[in-house]
Every structure is written in structure tokens, then in C-alpha cells.
Amino acid sequence: MFNGLNSVLTIFIMIGTGFILTKKGVFNTDTSKLFSKIVVNISLPLMMIINIPMRFSKEKLFESLNGIIVAFLSILIAYIIAVITANIFRIDNNKKGIFYVMFAFSNSIFIGLPVNISLFGEDSAIYVFLFYLANTCLFWTLGIYYIKKSGSNAKKSFSKLDSLRKIFSPPFLGFLIGIILVLLEIELPGFMVNSFRYIGNLTTPLSMFFIGIVISSINIKEMKLDLTSSLILIGKLLITPFVMFLCLKLFELPILLGKVFIIEAAMPIITQAALVSEFYGADSKYVSYMVGLSTVLMILIIPVYSLILVR
């Protein structure tokens, strides 16, 4: 219990620092964009390249492969539950596509990774990427298909090359390089290891500062919950993690993987949903609002999950 509380307080202090510095005018929206670019394009890929060979052997890697199946299965089941829920509660047809996506898909990297590292240590990073693989592949295929159906610009389309670029992002390429280094038993020179580690260590604090900046820009008083919003939040923060818990029972997997996957499933709504909604003419303003709201509520839900999982 003490370890869980310690981890949660660590997260709160880093997010709180970002929040306070934004209110003081030190950080702003341009800062958040800069942090995002540094983490996604530089520090996170380098962290993967270093951490995976350091913490995983071939045997441990192969033991975790069933985790990819669990991740795909749980997200697909959550998606099906979202479809059933939308029909039962007669969600507006123009919102069904974004409803499905917000219900089922998580911000697995930018928020999920630093949260898991804070709770479980750097050994959790590779498991985050196993979930990320399923989350990203399904979002850029199944997810955008239904967002497109909900939008007014249905004739617009991402090219196949654009979709592949989204999946094979710098963090994912860093993940693949790390896996290759393990499989081929290649050791990087010491100067590269040290340099990559120092840069990779920027990932967690910058990500937490980013969350603090996002939360500081949200007007809590303007947040109103209607039926659709309530169903999305219940699905994202409660039902989806429970689905993951049930799916984990189907396989014999490392205990840490199970804990990481449950936290990943409970993470806020995937931020790319707002970008894709804007592209296809869906209700991107509503999606952005829900992304922010789910991020705020994540701060409240993390202590609950940490008390259950961190022992």
C-alpha cells in the first residue's frame, strides 16, 4: 500500500509542477507542443532502444508475446460493448463512430507510459509497447473507419502510406530496434548507452509536465456531463479495464504485464481521436472536451488502481 501511495504522489507532484508553472506563465501551449515533439520523436524512442535490451532476454520476450493477443482481444471486445451500448441507449448516429473510439481506445503512450513507469518502474515499458501495438493498429484501421462514417467529410481519406506512418511512429520504431537488439544479442557502445539513457530519462517528467499544462487549460466549471459523456467515461475508466482483467485470465502471463495492461486500459481517451475527427468533419470539439475530461478524471482514478495493483 505504501509503494502505491508513493508512486501516486510522485505522479501528482510532477503533474502539479506542470500545472503550477503553467498558471505562473512559465509554460504555455507552445511549451506543451515542444514537450510533445521531444518525447514522441526523441526521448521515448531512445528510451526503448536502451531499456528493452537491458531488461529483457530472448526467453522473457517470447513469454510476453501472448500479451499482444490479449491486448487485441480486449480492445475488440470493448469496441463491441461500445457498439451494443450505443444501440441500447440510442446514441445519435452522428456521434456513434466517435463514441466507439472514445469508449475503447486509450492514450497508451504519452500518458500511459509515464504513469506505468511511475507505478511499476522501467521494467513496465516493454509491456506498454505491446499494448500500444494493438491500440495503435486497431485505431488507425477500425477506429478511423467509424469516425469517417460519423463525419461530414466522409469522402476525405488518409492514404495507406499515412496510416502506416502513424503506426510506424518514432516510438514504435524505437521499440522494434530494441527488440532486434535483444534477438540478435547486440550490445551498443557505452557512450551510446549513456547518452540515450540521459535523453530517454526526459520522457517521464516532460510527459507529466505536458499533462499538467493540459489540465491547467481546462475550465472545470464548464464541464457538463450528459448521458453520452457519462457512458463514455464509465466505459473508458471502468468497463474497459474490467474487460482487460477478464481477458488476462485466458493466458498465463507475467504478473507485471497484467498490471500494466489494466492501467493502460484505464488511461484517458486517445488524443488522436480529436485530430481524426477534425479531419473527417466529425464533432472534434466534443472529442477534445472528452479527452480533457478523461485526463482530469484519470488523476482521481489512478490512486484507486494503484492501491489495487501496486503491492
Pairwise CA distance, residues 103 & 273, whole Å = 11
Show the cell assigned to 11. Answer: 505522479
CA 47 to chain centre: 16
Q: Residues 216-236: what's their mean pLDDT?
A: 83
Report for 9-13, 179-183, 243-247, 294-298: range of highest mean pLDDT:
243-247
Calculate the CA 56 to chain-centre distance. Answer: 22
Dihedrals phi, psi of 179, to nearest 5 degrees = -60, -45
Q: Could you tell me the CA-to-CA distances from 294 to 138, 226, 238 in Å, in that order?
A: 20, 14, 12
DSSP lists the bridge partners of residue 269 as 106
Task: Indicate if the pLDDT at residue 171 is higher than 60.
Answer: yes
Give how many domains the chain has, as a whole number. Answer: 1
What does the pLDDT look like over 188-202, one tens digit per residue? 999 999 999 999 999
User: Cα–Cα distance between 186 and 256 in angstroms, integer?
Assistant: 26
Give the residue numbers spanning the domain of 213.
2-309
Q: What percent of the chain has pLDDT over 70?
A: 91
Instruction: Count Cβ atoms below 10 Å from residue 64 Cβ, excluding itself.
Output: 17
Q: Could you report the per-residue pLDDT of 246-305, keeping only the tens digit for each?
A: 999 998 888 999 999 999 999 999 888 887 887 788 787 888 888 888 888 888 888 888
25 pLDDT band, cuts 50/70/90, is very high
Most confident of 61-75, 148-162, 187-201, 279-293: 187-201
Residue 146 — pLDDT band, cuts 50, 70, 90? confident
The CATH code of the domain that includes 274 is 1.20.1530
Q: Are 64 and 257 in contact (CB under 8 A)?
A: yes
Q: What is the mean pLDDT of the chain?
A: 85
**CB count, 10 Å around CB of 291?**
20
* pLDDT for the residue 1: 46
Quote the CA–CA distance of 113 and 127 in Å, as a whole number: 9
Between helices 284-309 and 203-216, what is the axis angle to 10°? 130
Whether the full predicted model's pTM is greater than 0.85, yes or no, is no
In the prediction, which pLDDT does 244 show? 96
3-class DSSP state for residue 269? strand
